[in-house]
Structure 1
Amino acid sequence: MKRFVGLISGGKDSFYTIELLKQKEYNLVALVYIKSTDIDSYMYQTVGHEMIPFYRQVLDVPIYIIETNRKAINTDKEYVHTLNDEVEVIYDHLYELQKKAVFECVSVGAIKSYYQYNRIKSVCDRLNLSVLTPLFNLDQRVIYDAIIECMDVVIVKVACTNLGKEIVGKNLNVISGMRVDNWCGEGGEYETAVLDAPFFKKKLRIKNYEVLHHPEEEDKERTVFFMKINEIEVLEK
């Protein structure tokens, strides 16, 4: 049985990736979340970060939360090792994690983002690890339908004109009848947080939150809205 570390954003794709791998009898040994101070990070989802510590209470594996203020330095399509780039945070932590845990693979929830896939592959190649991306290049509507069928997912950010502020905080199935170009949000249309999944031991509920607008849209037409989570509770399933 191959052992893997899951890179998570808190969103649906990284957790659904883990669900698929567990169905194939891969053994999850740890989760890693990169908490970036850059709200517009090229690599890391920052909205919904308040959820991450609570996943420790619903899962039975260690969760490592790595804070960073690094930004993208190398934005070329083909990534090569670049000192102090935000990607190298993953390399540094996986390198240290290899000293404490045994694993051969790393999972990532990339679907259409070659940018993301290429960077994780660069990291893993240097560490002699395999990259697991079971969702890569699959049909987004098929993935979307599978996710809303088996997971409880909430929208925590919208960033396009046809998805309004009012759907922030709603279940992901709210968009099922809307006109959406990228069903899984691969164009940055929306971001999510996962409240429950088949492999969770318990589930989460967001009790209190605010919906804010992007700070750069203070004096502009507002199209980017995100959730600031104030209170979360853990529930039995």
Structure 2
Amino acid sequence: MLCKEAGHEIVCLANLFPSESKEIDSYMYQSVGHEGIKAIGQATGLPLFRKEIRGRPLNTEKTYEVEEKDEVEDLFFLLKTIKSQYPNIEGVSVGAIQSSYQKDRVENVCKRLNLTPLCYLWEKDQIQLFDSMIHAGVDAIVIKVAAMGLTSKHLGMTLKEIRDHLLEMNKKYGSHVCGEGGEYETFVVDSPLYQKRISVDQCEAILHSDNSIAPVAYLKLNSLSLCDKNEIAQ
């Protein structure tokens, strides 16, 4: 959204998804909710390019140097494929807020492909950023929790619904309000970039780790459909 406000044209979407269609722990990518990515492509009306994550986080140093079988190289080859079909693309939107680890790796890939990383969220105040997303019309639901103060009961809650609790957890435990520390993950069901709204028709909560302090649980999105924006989500 901020890229468009700055005058850029969104040409297509890119997504890296886990092998065997299951949620994985990645240093770089969100994998939970990957079954809903096609719906995002349909909702935006933009071409969607996808690649299976084959690599692993082998090089975990602060500054990335190319490692052949590292998961970062999956991003390199995905963007390389896209650039071969869209030779005029010039930049990549990057959603990093505070993660130097992720930002450095996307910048590394972009430099090798002569692309400009567009990091409009970088080092923004997280409370202000969170509220600005809601105000701008981003409707997202929590689909994974993995931090103190968050449990499976928070799955499916919207940003508006969980806002006050996240602020409380920030004061109590120092949690990142925007989930930048991996506290939670979201799935966007509607935004100004969407032509249609995504309806989550069927989902199931899966307990990944029954930790008494910080349980890890996520939603598997089993059935999704598109609806007109004026339809009330059920």
TM-score (norm 1): 0.87
- State whether residues 32 and 64 of structure 1, in contact with CA within 8 Å, keep that contact through their aligned partners in structure 2: yes
Secondary structure at the counterpart of residue 30 of structure 2: coil
- State whether residues 36 and 44 of structure 1, in contact with CA within 8 Å, keep that contact through their aligned partners in structure 2: no
Any stretches of 5+ residues in structure 2 without a counterpart? 230-234
Cα distance in 2, alignment partners of residues 139 and 124 from structure 1: 25
Q: Which amino acid aligns with 2:50?
A: I
- Show the 5 A alignment for 1:84-163: 84-101=69-86, 102-149=88-135, 150-163=137-150
1:169 aligns with 2:156: yes
Give the equivalent residue in structure 2 for 1:22: 4
Offset of 1:35 from its aligned partner? 0.4
Cα distance in 1, alignment partners of residues 154 and 207 from structure 2: 13
Counting aligned pairs with the same residue, the percent is: 36
- State whether residues 167 and 174 of structure 1, in contact with CA within 8 Å, keep that contact through their aligned partners in structure 2: no
Offset of 1:60 from its aligned partner? 2.5
Secondary structure at the counterpart of residue 41 of structure 2: helix
1:227 aligns with 2:219: yes
Secondary structure at the counterpart of residue 222 of structure 2: strand
Give the equivalent residue in structure 1 for 2:203: 209
Runs ≥4 in structure 1, deviation > 6 angstroms? Answer: none
Q: Which amino acid aligns with 2:179?
A: G
- State whether residues 141 and 156 of structure 2, in contact with CA within 8 Å, keep that contact through their aligned partners in structure 1: yes
1:236 aligns with 2:218: no
Q: Which amino acid aligns with 2:6?
A: K
Cα distance in 2, alignment partners of residues 29 and 177 from structure 1: 36
Cα distance in 2, alignment partners of residues 83 and 170 from structure 1: 39
Cα distance in 2, alignment partners of residues 224 and 173 from structure 1: 22
- State whether residues 109 and 135 of structure 1, in contact with CA within 8 Å, keep that contact through their aligned partners in structure 2: yes
Secondary structure at the counterpart of residue 85 of structure 2: coil
Offset of 1:71 from its aligned partner? 0.9
Cα distance in 1, alignment partners of residues 201 and 42 from structure 2: 16
> Relative CO higher for 1 or 2, CA cutoff 8 Å, sep ≥ 6?
1
Cα distance in 2, alignment partners of residues 137 and 78 from structure 1: 18
TM-score (norm 2): 0.88
Offset of 1:148 from its aligned partner? 1.7
Q: Size of the alignment, in residue pairs?
A: 216
Match of 1:54 among 35, 39, 62: 39
Give the equivalent residue in structure 1 for 2:176: 182
- State whether residues 35 and 46 of structure 1, in contact with CA within 8 Å, keep that contact through their aligned partners in structure 2: yes
- Alpha-carbon deviations, 1:98-143, whole Å to 9, x = none? 2210201111100000000000000011111111000001100011
Offset of 1:173 from its aligned partner? 1.6
Any stretches of 5+ residues in structure 1 without a counterpart? 1-18
Offset of 1:161 from its aligned partner? 2.2
- State whether residues 13 and 41 of structure 2, in contact with CA within 8 Å, keep that contact through their aligned partners in structure 1: no
Offset of 1:213 from its aligned partner? 1.1
